[in-house]
A and B are shown apart, each in its own frame.
Chain A
């Protein structure tokens, strides 16, 4: 029998309901697993406090949708009374005075919060190497990165140090690390999940979403965390479907689009082969494959690296050591307080993006960069709208390559940025997407398949992902750590 910590959330729920196990058993096994594995992965910035977790498990209301289920949280979401460092030195010493809306919802659903996961500083990066807590390692090969920015959340789920985790996705920060760590990661439609309490990177792109071991678990978590929040002006007032119902239908009759623009140079042959095999598998299962075009795909990365840094440059202005966080010692004056606190508190990638974002908004450059980028973004959004008149969901690779080596791309930011070329357009268009395991490279690194849905198309995405998962075995593999 496999260890308890490898179970899915749905399976835990069944066993808890049947009283085969207790919530405290679950907590204990998970705590032991974290002790065993996290020294190698460095995926938690704050490991769960054993006593607190056991007490919470003991008190958990098992009748709730996530009753007794431990869930890890990316260190970018505020949990009242806990630190929230965003893997940045500038937030050392900060204690959150409030709960994010998703945390409230998890608590109401009976979940047990376990630990805070590592990430690229302020969610800026694709490898979790930009962290003040040190790099997180890929559970399938500890010489390699787990992806980013939610690398910690992907590694704890892929490495079975958590049953599920929350992450955030601005340009692929859930889907890309999920692909690289061999788990499921879903980026909801913009406005589906409240951002209140998520430390903002790029406000018009950020969404919180789940990392899980199965598609069913993703659906379960989405039912809990979705919904309108009066505290988030951009969250949309629209009923939350019962996502698990979408899993009851198989793939027959689904129309799945394959965009030619996603199969071009730069893609690793093993990734391309695995993706094409997955597409064939869908066809065999009764889905109809249609050729589609997303003509402005090639511009997505350029648009993203104007809009995201621009928004970030303003979002990160609040970190200067006046009201909270790390303040430089003995500043000469107020300007020095700002400049030195920010110099010492931010890592190089964050500084780079702040400068880039400040530049593209500055006087004389706004129209050439920011305004033009927002226009091209509109074209990208239209591409998706047109594509979804022809299909129910779109199939693409999640990442052009499998996990790369630690340090391999750190000296060339532009190369690192291109690691997100398949995921970025989804955020720019505000649509949803999931990454699920679809194979391994010869050296046993996971490969992810991205399934993109229209705005509010989560049910189609989950149905397609579930249909594939239930007829394949990839998700059952467990890494040796």
Chain B
């Protein structure tokens, strides 16, 4: 049996986060009562003209910059002609032969991959997926389908939409997953889009073919639609690669077609074959003059370039002495990294803050968008431990209350009566008490079992109701036993 490999390319549509639509000043907003964000322009009334949204162009260029693309010196719009009721003018204003951004790449990273393959030694976690292009266009309306009729809400019609086309560099469903995750991360970093697939802010069409390993020519391409989550993309690709492999093995030729993913059944279904190619009759939109991007637009976009995940990770390691792994996790979400930087600002041990945030906080089931805690409390808490005011165990007692009540740790420590005993005289008395009560442990210690000191330490902690500073206790015990 021959071995097959998959060739995968993704076309991702991303809704841009702007106040207004691409070519008119109606609100760009998800939801809203049907046909409440419409005007003559986005309804395609007779006589109207498009006016391009500066912000959408800047955000597209910014995306291109973040993804290492070449930015076109001139921005030109074309008309893509086809009839469909969700498209008011029956042509879409798009970009054909001169996309705003060309080439570029998305670099994958370990954490972008599904968890279950993050330990797989065969996976190349830092693979670069090259891009073909990024262009800007207008979105279509939303339709609702009933038994015999369809209803159209034009609120979404004319909102700015970016299309990001990858080269067919993706070889596995897991790489597709990681590509989308990493891409989404960057889009959020740049404030370009919220890129939530479930809200349709990021939509993905998949092209996949298979070929025997080593063959140069591509197999017949199949397009998959209706993918509403990143994991659906992965699942549909697994299904489709198996299906195509089985067909080829059985001698059934693959025909060029579009298939629909049914998430409930976990299968793809044929929607249509591509009997004849669309003839979109692209031509430059005479209503829109070409734009010069080289001066203002490109400069503005560059000035907004954020620190990207890889750079952020390196800086976190260097500046906060967190571990590589902690830095990766923190940098995977810009909101998380930003919160961490605030939380660790005045901490003496910043890695401890990372631990509180990444382990203790997420263990409470909270998320970073809605974290209710004043970030300074993280520094305060870790400093209490660091200064020996409370011990780690006490800190773990304080933490859930700090999260639940958004109260300063120093206040909670008092409320809970947790201040640690560091008074040497008091602790010496407790140590003497423990030594007197546990001759056995003392004997063990003297016989060379140095571990026996821990049993005594436990006793002291117990006697202090957990409030003794364990480090000080250990020092006193050692001194006394070795005397």
User: A233-B50, A323-B43, A323-B44 are known contacts; what are 7 more A-B pairs with Cβ within 8 Å?
Assistant: A77-B47, A98-B40, A200-B47, A233-B51, A318-B88, A324-B46, A361-B281
Q: Is the CB of A320 within 8 A of B40?
A: no
Q: Is the CB of A338 within 8 A of B288?
A: no
Q: Is the CB of A324 within 8 A of B45?
A: yes
- The answer to the question of A372 belonging to the interface, with a C-beta cut-off of 8 Å to chain B, is no
Q: Mark A317-333, 1 if CB is under 8 A from B, else 0.
A: 11110111000000000
In the bound assembly, the distance between CA atoms of A180 and B79 in angstroms comes to 37
In the bound assembly, the distance between CA atoms of A96 and B282 in angstroms comes to 29
Q: Which residue of A lies closest to B154 (CB)?
A: A323
| Neighbouring A residues of B281 by C-beta, 8 Å | 313-314, 358, 361-363, 366
In the bound assembly, the distance between CA atoms of A319 and B152 in angstroms comes to 17
- The answer to the question of B34 belonging to the interface, with a C-beta cut-off of 8 Å to chain A, is no
Q: Is the CB of B46 within 8 A of A361?
A: no
Pick the contact of B85: A230, A231, A324, A334 (CB < 8 A): A334
In the bound assembly, the distance between CA atoms of A200 and B287 in angstroms comes to 10
- The answer to the question of B81 belonging to the interface, with a C-beta cut-off of 8 Å to chain A, is yes
Pick the contact of B283: A96, A230, A324, A370 (CB < 8 A): A370
Q: Is the CB of A233 within 8 A of B288?
A: yes
- The answer to the question of B83 belonging to the interface, with a C-beta cut-off of 8 Å to chain A, is yes
Known: A203-B287, A317-B89. A84 touches B46 (CB 8 A): yes
Q: Is the CB of B83 within 8 A of A233?
A: no
**Nearest CB of chain A from residue B175's CB, rounded to whole Å:** 34
Which parts of B142-188 form the interface with A (CB within 8 Å)?
Answer: 150, 152
- The answer to the question of B49 belonging to the interface, with a C-beta cut-off of 8 Å to chain A, is yes
Number of residues of chain B lying within 8 A (CB) of chain A: 31
**Nearest CB of chain B from residue A368's CB, rounded to whole Å:** 14
In the bound assembly, the distance between CA atoms of A334 and B283 in angstroms comes to 26
- The answer to the question of A133 belonging to the interface, with a C-beta cut-off of 8 Å to chain B, is no
Q: Is the CB of A98 within 8 A of B45?
A: yes
**Of the 9-residue stretches A149-157, A190-198, A239-247, A411-419, which lies at the interface with chain B?**
A190-198
Q: Which residue of A lies closest to B40 (CB)?
A: A98
Q: Is the CB of A318 within 8 A of B286?
A: no
In the bound assembly, the distance between CA atoms of A322 and B84 in angstroms comes to 10
Q: Is the CB of B79 within 8 A of A91?
A: no
Q: Is the CB of B49 within 8 A of A363?
A: no
| Neighbouring B residues of A338 by C-beta, 8 Å | 83
Q: Which residue of A lies closest to B43 (CB)?
A: A323
- The answer to the question of A458 belonging to the interface, with a C-beta cut-off of 8 Å to chain B, is no
In the bound assembly, the distance between CA atoms of A318 and B286 in angstroms comes to 16
Q: Which residue of A lies closest to B79 (CB)?
A: A314
Q: Which residue of B lies closest to A317 (CB)?
A: B90
- The answer to the question of B255 belonging to the interface, with a C-beta cut-off of 8 Å to chain A, is no
| Neighbouring A residues of B52 by C-beta, 8 Å | 233
In the bound assembly, the distance between CA atoms of A418 and B479 in angstroms comes to 114
| Neighbouring A residues of B287 by C-beta, 8 Å | 200, 203, 233-234
Q: Which residue of B lies closest to A232 (CB)?
A: B49
- The answer to the question of B125 belonging to the interface, with a C-beta cut-off of 8 Å to chain A, is no
Which parts of B60-91 form the interface with A (CB within 8 Å)?
Answer: 79, 81, 83, 85, 88-91
In the bound assembly, the distance between CA atoms of A268 and B291 in angstroms comes to 45
| Neighbouring A residues of B49 by C-beta, 8 Å | 195-196, 200, 231-234
- The answer to the question of B289 belonging to the interface, with a C-beta cut-off of 8 Å to chain A, is yes
| Neighbouring A residues of B277 by C-beta, 8 Å | 363
- The answer to the question of B279 belonging to the interface, with a C-beta cut-off of 8 Å to chain A, is yes
In the bound assembly, the distance between CA atoms of A230 and B50 in angstroms comes to 10
How many chain A residues sit at the interface, stated as a range, is 35 or more
Pick the contact of A203: B40, B43, B282, B286 (CB < 8 A): B286
- Total inter-chain residue pairs, C-beta < 8 Å: 103
Pick the contact of A197: B47, B85, B286 (CB < 8 A): B47
In the bound assembly, the distance between CA atoms of A11 and B361 in angstroms comes to 83
Which parts of A255-288 form the interface with B (CB within 8 Å)?
Answer: none
| Neighbouring A residues of B279 by C-beta, 8 Å | 362-363
In the bound assembly, the distance between CA atoms of A346 and B83 in angstroms comes to 17
- The answer to the question of B481 belonging to the interface, with a C-beta cut-off of 8 Å to chain A, is no
- The answer to the question of A219 belonging to the interface, with a C-beta cut-off of 8 Å to chain B, is no
In the bound assembly, the distance between CA atoms of A212 and B110 in angstroms comes to 74
Which parts of B3-50 form the interface with A (CB within 8 Å)?
Answer: 40, 43-50
Q: Is the CB of A314 within 8 A of B283?
A: yes
- The answer to the question of A474 belonging to the interface, with a C-beta cut-off of 8 Å to chain B, is no
**Nearest CB of chain B from residue A216's CB, rounded to whole Å:** 30
Q: Which residue of A lies closest to B91 (CB)?
A: A314
Q: Which residue of A lies closest to B46 (CB)?
A: A199
Most chain A CB neighbours (cut-off 10 Å) among B46, B49, B282, B287: B46
Q: Is the CB of B46 within 8 A of A86?
A: yes
Q: Is the CB of B47 within 8 A of A196?
A: yes
In the bound assembly, the distance between CA atoms of A323 and B39 in angstroms comes to 12
**Nearest CB of chain B from residue A75's CB, rounded to whole Å:** 11
| Neighbouring B residues of A199 by C-beta, 8 Å | 46-47
Q: Is the CB of A322 within 8 A of B85?
A: yes
| Neighbouring B residues of A94 by C-beta, 8 Å | 46
In the bound assembly, the distance between CA atoms of A338 and B279 in angstroms comes to 17
| Neighbouring B residues of A232 by C-beta, 8 Å | 49, 51
In the bound assembly, the distance between CA atoms of A230 and B287 in angstroms comes to 13
Which parts of B272-286 form the interface with A (CB within 8 Å)?
Answer: 277, 279, 281-283, 285-286
Known: A234-B289, A310-B283. A320 touches B90 (CB 8 A): yes
| Neighbouring B residues of A203 by C-beta, 8 Å | 285-287
| Neighbouring A residues of B47 by C-beta, 8 Å | 76-78, 84, 96, 100, 196-200
Closest 8 CB pairs of A and B: A317-B90, A204-B286, A203-B286, A361-B281, A199-B46, A199-B47, A318-B44, A197-B47
Known: A233-B51, A233-B52. A318 touches B283 (CB 8 A): no
Which parts of A357-414 form the interface with B (CB within 8 Å)?
Answer: 358, 361-363, 366, 370
- The answer to the question of A97 belonging to the interface, with a C-beta cut-off of 8 Å to chain B, is yes
